[in-house]
């Protein structure tokens, strides 16, 4: 097992900027989930 304990502080600042694509991707995913859910919810309301 490699010792990883004190390497944590190293890349704090650039780390945040370097995952912006990930943040954008998961939010796109999240909006898709909301969009489909709301779509079927309206279908349910329409059929009430």
Partner 1 sequence: MHMHKYEKIWLFFGIGSLFLFLTIVGVSAFAQGNQPPSCLTTIDPEKVDQTPPFNKPGLVKTGDNEYQLNIVASAFAYTPNQIEIPKGAKVTINVTTKDVIHGFEMVGTNVNMMVEPGYVNSFTKTFNETGEFTILCNEYCGTGHHLMTAKVKVVDKQ
Partner 2 sequence: MNETMKVDRRDAKLAMAHIYVAFIALALGGLAGLLQVLVRSGKFTLPANINYYTILTTHGVLLGLVLTTFFIIGFQFAAVSRTAGTLSDKARTTGWLGFWVMTIGTALTAFYILIGEASVLYTFYAPLQAHPGFYIGLTLVVVGSWLSGFAMFAHYAKWKKANPGKTSPLLTFMSVVNMILWLVCSLGVAATVLIQLLPWSLGFVERINILVSRTLFWYFGHPLVYFWLLPAYMIWYVVIPKIIGGKIFSDSLARLSFILFLIFSIPVGFHHQLVEPGIDPAWKYLQVVLTFMVVIPSLMTAFSMFATFEMYGRSKGAAGLFGWLRKLPWGDARFFAPFVGMLFFIPAGAGGLINASHQLNQVVHNTIWVTGHFHLTLATTVVLTFFGAAYWLIPHLTGRVMTKTMNRLAIVQTVVWAVGMLFMSGSMHFAGLLGAPRRSAFSTYGNSPQALEWIPYQIAQAIGGTILFIGIILVLIIVTNLAFFAPKGETEFPVGEVAETAERTPLVFENWKLWIGITVALILIAYTIPFIDMIQNAPPGSKGYKLW
Q: What is the pattern of x (binds partner 1, CB under 8 A) and - over residues 12-31? A: ---xx--xx-xx--xx--x-
Q: Which does 42 bind (CB under 5 to 8 A by kind): partner 1, partner 2, none?
A: none
DSSP state letters, the chain: ----GGGTTTTHHHHHHHTHHHHHHHHHHHHHHHHHHHHHHHHHHHT-
Under the criterion CB under 8 A, does residue 20 sit at the interface with partner 2?
yes
* Separation of alpha carbons 35 and 27, rounded Å: 12
Query: By the criterion CB under 8 A, which residues form the site for partner 1?
Result: 8, 15-16, 19-20, 22-23, 26-27, 30, 33-34, 37, 41, 44, 47-48
């Amino acid at each position: 097992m490699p010792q990883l304990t004190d390497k944590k502080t190293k890349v704090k600042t650039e780390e945040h900027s370097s995952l912006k694509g990930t943040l954008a991707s998961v939010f796109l995913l999240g909006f898709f989930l909301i969009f489909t859910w709301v779509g079927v919810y309206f279908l349910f309301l329409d059929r009430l």
